[in-house]
Structures are given as structure tokens and as C-alpha cells.
Structure 1
């Protein structure tokens, strides 16, 4: 069987970036790392550039050469090497999944927690009917078949809130949604929003899910800029911010840039209704009592 070219998956990119950072911190050139492993320098370069595969044992040897002794760091990087070539659960959906969306799904698979704010109800909390409505409205070039496939994928993605492979705890989600999103209607699906609001109330009972609502009469806040998802990981992995627009996702990394969004989310939380008041707001809208 011929050798298969390594695909630069997000996990492989994160591993390569972390190896580069550890090597640089040790004051070593890539040539020295390659010689220590008995590799050509080009092979080591492919590893750092996410174009070459590396085994957990090889990662452990590299970290030892770089002087990394933190057992938590070693375990995290060797586990990432082990998982780097795993096929994502979303693979059966094929080309309908854009590269940036695949990266987000991979991020969520490894994450501890996620914070969300945006003009619509987040994908992790959407019913199938609501998902079809949103995807159909925002996926300007999508066929009807693609819309249905993406809605199915979005619902499958939500399993991360209740069950995860490998004994991982369910993802912790903190979502802050503007009240305007709760008043959306659909001519084709007249019962869509009542079902969606009931789902929000039901899923907010989970201990790992926090939902807040930004009142229509509330104050200005940083969330008015648009959708943002802050995806957090166990050490040593840094937090990543996902920003979305009509052309897909854009990821923000780096301590200083990420801190801006973390501070912004804290202000959004402060501007929102309390959890209990948010539940009451959702229930009142659902029952048609809120004026």
C-alpha cells in the first residue's frame, strides 16, 4: 500500500506549533532536533509544519531533548500525537462540512468549556427545525440537501453536552443570547420557536449548561459586534476564539488577543439578565405572555 500524504489537521497543526514553541524556548535550531532524532532536517520541518506524522514515542523523545519535564505537558502532547490522525466523527457528512467548521468541531472535541454570544441561538442549543431555518437563511449557496445535512450534523454535534468518548466530562457551555433571537418567527414552521424555547428551558437544567438572555431594554455591550465563541482547553493548550461571518470562521489565538475577547464576554455576562431571570424571560416568551 503506498504511503499516504499526511493531512494538516487542526490537531497536527497545534502539535507542530507547540513543538516549535518548546524547541525555541530551549534555544535549539530545528537541525539540532532533527539530529537528535536521527532524521533529516526536512523531516523534522514537516512535523512542525503539520505535514508529517510523528508518534507519541517520538514526541516524548523530542520533549526530553528540549528539556521539558512537566508530566502534564508531556502527557498532553503525546496524547495529541496519538489522536492527530483520528477521523473526526463528522467525516460521514463529507464535503458539506467546510474546513473552518471541521476545525471548530475538532476544537470542541478536545475542549473543556465554551462561551458563546451572538445574534442567534448557538448551534449547540438548536433544535433541528431552528437549525434548518438558520442554515437555510445564512448558507446563501447551500442546496436544500446540504441544509438538511448540516442541520443533522449540528444536532449530532450536541451530544458533546451529555456524553463524550474516553471518559471525558461533558462540555461546559455558557451561552448569552440576545432576546431578539427568541422572538424570531418562521412562516414555514409556525411551531418552530415554541419548540426551540422549550428546548432551551429543558437543556438549561443540565449542570454544565448556563444560559443568559440580553434584555431588549438592556444596555450596550461588546456582544453587539457579532458572534464569538471562546473555546477553552485543559493545560497546556491555550484558549481559542472563533469568530464567524458569511464566509466562514476565523480563529484568534495568542494570549493578548484572546484576553480582549475574554474581557468582552465578561462584560456581556454582566449586561445580561441573571440565569433565573433569563429562564423566566424564555418561559414568558414561549407562553406568549411577555409584552
Structure 2
């Protein structure tokens, strides 16, 4: 898989943060030298924004990076970080900050996701996605909703790549029982879940109401894993307060442990498929 701009920005940001810390500079001090807000430099160091060549040159000078080969590697990373991914074509309908997630997802090898109220976006049918998006964005005109549906379907193309994206999705029972779009749309969605769960590298589990309290009460989240060990896992959390990316080791580890506990509490894949089929048959 070719490394895309989002991961390149993350790698560059990580290297710049390490160089800054090794040089004994605080983030605020470097931001002052560059003439930018600390939040701007923070976004560069976390890979959420590309860096200008002028800023990069100033940082490398301040950090004492004299080796031409090392400088060239960092310059190349910065240049590639400015490239636009395929998702840039959907900039007009991408929710604020979601472009980062789509860019990361496009370069992952595996996603572990827990969903509370809806089916995971990578497993949604077009009609189900329309039902969700119309309620989430009631003021959007229909053409924008359709473009958002197209974006969701474009993301799902990862399953057809070689190698395909691996997905382990845990769905709260509420997600399979809530008839989004009406009985017919929901029945098709549930059938789609069963079909997708039969694909290699794709696991679907249902967390039943009967399990009681569980490790996912904090909300839905996804853990993204990358092909290179140098690229640490990222946790994506979406809420009414906005999008949050967790990258600190302790935060990622906490979510990974929560996912393992959810996986243990959920029905086995076969039993999950049986429950999904039962719910589909109950829809009138």
C-alpha cells in the first residue's frame, strides 16, 4: 500500500516533536519563533495540518538538523503531506475534522470499531446511510446527502483491495433493532451485515442487552491500525462535542482494553449472525 498524505503528515509531525523535545524547546517557544499560534504548531506536530516549507526550514535550523540526508527525508515528507487524497473531492460535504479520519482510514490495515446506535459506516447500505445522514444533517439539500452517501461507499472500496481492509465491528443490540429508513431498508441492511460477516478478515459481533453494564458506556469509538510499526495506532471518537483523536499510549491502550472486554462480552460471530437474522425476520 502506498503511504498517503495523512500518514506522511503524522510521521513528519512525530519527528518534529521528537527533535523539538531533544533540543529542549517548549512548543510555545518554537511557535513564537515561527510567528504562529501554539495551536498551529500543535496541529503540525500531531499531523492534523501540513507544514509550510519556510516553517520547516526554521525548525530544522533551530533543532540543529545539519545532516543533508536527514533534512531531505523531512522535506520529502512535508512535500508529500501536501498532496491531496481522493477524499479531497468531497471537501464540500466532509464534516469538520472528518477529512483526517478518512485519510487515516484510507491507509489502515485494520479497524476495530464499537458502535452504539447505528451500524458501522463501513457496513452501511446506501439506503440505510441516507436514512442516517438525513436525520444527522436535516438542513443539507438532497444533493449534498447523496454526495455524503457516495463518500461512504467510496470508503467501503477498501474491502475490495488486495489485501482487503480488516474490520472487527461490535454493534450494540440497539443498532440492529433500530429500524433506520423503515422496515424494508432495515431488513436489507441486516441481510447485508450477515453477508459481509462471511467475508475473510471481517468480523461482526452483537453486544446484547442481556450483558448489562459493559466497557463501552463511554461511547462509540474506532481503533485504527497501520501497516508500519512506526505508525502508532489511533483512536477515533465522535460525539456531539466534536471529533477527538487519541494518540497517547495510555489512551490508546485504554480503548484497546475496552474493546477486548466488549469482544468478550458480545455474542460470538455465529450467534451474532443468528440474532441479526432473527431481528430481520421480525421486521414487518
TM-score range, shorter chain: 0.7 to 0.9
Alignment equivalent of 1:134, drawn from 132, 135, 138:
132
Aligned to 1:37: none
Please report how far the alpha carbon of residue 256 of structure 1 lies from its aligned counterpart in structure 2 after TM superposition: 1.0
Q: How does 1:231-250 map to 2 (within 5 A)?
A: 231-233=224-226, 234-250=228-244
Please report how far the alpha carbon of residue 66 of structure 1 lies from its aligned counterpart in structure 2 after TM superposition: 11
Unaligned runs of 5+ in 1: 1-8, 31-40, 69-73
Contact 1:212 1:272 in 2 (8 A): yes
The answer to whether the aligner puts 1:202 opposite 2:198 as a matched pair is: no
SS at match of 2:168: strand
Q: Distance between the aligned counterparts of 1:247 and 1:272, measured in 2?
A: 28
Q: Which runs of 4+ in 1 moved over 3 A?
A: 9-13, 24-30, 45-50, 62-68, 77-83
Q: Distance between the aligned counterparts of 2:82 and 2:170, measured in 1?
A: 34
Unaligned runs of 5+ in 2: 27-32, 35-39
Coordinate RMSD, CA, aligned? 3.4
Contact 2:90 2:151 in 1 (8 A): yes
Please report how far the alpha carbon of residue 23 of structure 1 lies from its aligned counterpart in structure 2 after TM superposition: 2.1
Please report how far the alpha carbon of residue 271 of structure 1 lies from its aligned counterpart in structure 2 after TM superposition: 0.9
Aligned to 1:35: none
Deviations 1:39-92 (A, max 9, x none): xx96xx9886832258xxx9xxx9994999xxxxx99x8985574233221222
Q: How does 1:20-99 map to 2 (within 5 A)?
A: 20-24=16-20, 27=23, 50-53=50-53, 65=67, 83-99=80-96
SS at match of 2:112: strand
Change (3 A) 1:63 1:220: farther
Q: How many residue pairs end up in the alignment?
A: 254
Q: Distance between the aligned counterparts of 2:202 and 2:179, measured in 1?
A: 25
Q: How does 1:1-291 map to 2 (within 5 A)?
A: 10-11=6-7, 13-24=9-20, 27=23, 50-53=50-53, 65=67, 83-119=80-116, 120-163=118-161, 169-186=163-180, 189-233=182-226, 234-288=228-282
The TM-score with structure 1 as length reference comes to: 0.75
